Amino acid sequence: MNSAADVGLRLPPSCNAEEAARILRISPCQRAISRLVYDTEYEASIRDCMHGAAGEAEMLASHVAHVAAVAERNPPLQCASYFTPDNA
C-alpha cells in the first residue's frame, strides 16, 4: 500500500515543464502520475483485462477520477503530453 508521502505530489503552479520533469525524474510519485501521462494506455489495459466483467465500469471510473485529481492538484501536469518518453 502506498503512503500519502509516496503519492502526494504537489508541484507549485509556477513550475514550468522542464522543472516539473526534473523533479519527477527523482520522485517516487512517478507511479502515481503515470496514469495521467499514459491515460489512454491505462484505460485500454483496464478494458482488455476486464472484458466487460463485473467491476469494469468502477475501475474505469476510478481511473478517470485519479487522473482528474492529479491534474487538478498539479497545474504543471495539465500539459501531460509534454511528459512523454520522447521528451524525457
| pLDDT score, position 41 | 94
> How many whole angstroms separate alpha carbon 8 and alpha carbon 3?
8
Q: How many domains does the chain fold into?
A: 1
| Domain assignment of residue 8, yes or no | no
Grid coordinates given for 6? 509516496
pTM, to two decimals: 0.62
Reading the chain (88 residues) residue by residue, the pLDDT tens digits are 455 555 566 777 788 878 878 877 877 777 777 888 889 999 999 999 999 999 999 999 999 988 888 878 777 666 654 444 444 4
Amino acid identity at 29: C
> How many whole angstroms separate alpha carbon 7 and alpha carbon 14?
20
Grid coordinates given for 58? 468502477
Number of other CB atoms surrounding residue 87 within 10 Å: 10
> How many whole angstroms separate alpha carbon 24 and alpha carbon 9?
9
| pLDDT score, position 23 | 79
| pLDDT score, position 82 | 46
| pLDDT score, position 8 | 62
| Domain assignment of residue 1, yes or no | no
Range of the structural domain that residue 34 is part of: 15-83
Contacts of 37 (CB under 8 A, 6+ apart): 80, 83, 84
